[in-house]
Amino acid sequence: MTDRIRGALAPVLTPFNNRLEPDTERFIAHCRWLVDKGAGLAVFGTNSEAASLSVDERIALTDELLAAGIPPRKLMPGTGACAVSDAVTLSRHAVKNGAAGVLMLPPFYFKNVPDAGLFAYYSEVIERIGDDRLKVYLYHIPQFTAAPITLNLIEMLRKRYPETVVGAKDSSGDWENTRAMIDHFAADGFDVFPASESLLTKGLSSGAAGCISATVNMNPHGTVQLYEGWNSPQGEALQVNADVIRKVFQSAPMIPAMKRVVVEFSGHASWSTVRPPLTALGSATTASLLGQLRQADFTMSGYPRAT
């Protein structure tokens, strides 16, 4: 038996108020809703605008979530950072608080760094923390980091830290790469998460552990149903339904689009706020997005409304 975190995880959207400060109350409400729908919480991922948050802001938000009763075993916080000292601070905090795992970006300022440099970075974090409870998920998103998590790097890390480096998120969008990760490492207990529910049926039938996908923020129930029922008679229909919603959000800049839609279902206008350098959705794109969602009968059922 394993108590590894699996299934459908959301890279949780981070709400800001009109002064661009994290809105703790909205954040907790959003996380509660996601957990109630059965989703896991990959807080501080790309779609969380984690790069736009300071270390202190990420720690404070995590503390608030835990104080609000969100179960730590539902959490896979993003703790990667350009500075190894920041990655250590964030990862240590996650481990100390019982998070199920940490999703670690490689450092992403320097370009063309060799696998040996990335190995040294992950090693440094793991060695400094020195805690068996640390479970690291490598974050492959080369279109943002220019520092790919290669099969070679995974092999080096698995060999040295087999109990600690236990999985990866593949945000490359390249199914061949996801499949190669699964084929090489899944049988030994390495959990691979593609970054889209559109790959769930394909992924789960090949040995993936679930998905960590932006649109789980919008459609947690449908994605969890798909994760649980992909191999049932309803599987195909569940996949089609999830794909329809995913495609609508992909038609616009994803982060501002999702935030704008939460405004509709929460009644909180400030939910549309993004931190620079992102920009809010334009009005034409908003109209088109909302129109498509209405046509698809989309709803965020049970979402807590402004009172």
**CB 55, min distance to a copy of itself, A:** 7
Please name every residue paired with 22 in a beta bridge, in sequence order, or none if there are none: 16
Q: Footprint of a copy of itself on residues 82-121 (CB under 8 A)?
A: 82-86, 89, 106-111, 113-114, 116-118, 120-121
Binding-site residue total for a copy of itself (CB under 8 A)?
37
Using CB under 8 A as the binding rule, the residues of this chain from 277 to 296 that contact a copy of itself are 277-279
Between 126 and 224, CB nearer to a copy of itself: 126
Query: Taking each helix axis from N to C terminus, what angle separates 24-36 and 55-67, rounded to the nearest 10 degrees?
Result: 60
Give the shortest CB-277-to-a copy of itself separation in angstroms: 4
**What distance lies between CA 235 and its chain's CA centroid?**
23
CA distances to 76, 125, 199, 223 from 261, in Å: 24, 37, 23, 18
Q: Which of 59, 60, 68, 124 binds a copy of itself (CB under 8 A)?
A: 124
Nearer to a copy of itself among residue 156 and residue 300 (C-beta)? 156
Phi, psi at 106, each rounded to 5° = -75, 165
User: 27 to 86, contacts with a copy of itself by CB under 8 A?
Assistant: 46, 51-55, 57, 82-86
| Residue 215: both structure tokens together | 């649109």
Report which DSSP code applies to 163: T
Nearer to a copy of itself, 71 or 114 (CB): 114
CB of 279 to a copy of itself, least distance (A): 5
Distance CA 212, CA 9 (A): 5
Q: How far is the CB of 64 from a copy of itself (least distance, A)?
A: 16
Distance CA 216, CA 233 (A): 22
Q: Tell me whether residue 280 is exposed, middle or buried, using C-beta atoms within 10 angstroms of its C-beta: 0 to 12, 13 to 18, 19 or more.
A: middle
Tell me how far apart the alpha carbons of residues 213 and 218 are, in angstroms, rounded to a whole number.
10
Give the helix ranges, DSSP H, for the chain.
Answer: 24-36, 55-67, 84-96, 115-129, 142-145, 151-160, 175-185, 200-206, 220-229, 235-250, 254-266, 283-295
* Minimal distance, residue 195 CB to a copy of itself, in Å: 16
Of 257 and 293, the one with the shorter C-beta distance to a copy of itself is 257
CB closer to a copy of itself out of 164 and 266? 164
- β partners of residue 86: none
Find the shortest distance in angstroms from Cβ 7 to a copy of itself: 27
244 binds a copy of itself (CB under 8 A): no
The 10 Å Cβ neighbour count of residue 187 is 9
CB of 136 to a copy of itself, least distance (A): 15
Q: How many helices (H) and strands (E) does the chain have?
A: 12, 7
From residue 143 to residue 182, the character string flagging contacts with a copy of itself as x (rule: CB under 8 A) and all else as - is: xx--x-----------------------------------
Q: How far is the CB of 283 from a copy of itself (least distance, A)?
A: 15
| Shortest Å, Cβ 199 to a copy of itself | 22
Q: Which residue has the tokens 């794109």?
A: 285
Residue 18 interacts with a copy of itself (CB under 8 A)? no
The C-alpha atoms of residue 291 and residue 136 are separated, in whole angstroms, by: 40
Length of the chain: 307
Name the site residues for a copy of itself (rule: CB under 8 A): 20, 46, 51-55, 57, 82-86, 89, 106-111, 113-114, 116-118, 120-121, 123-124, 143-144, 147, 275-279
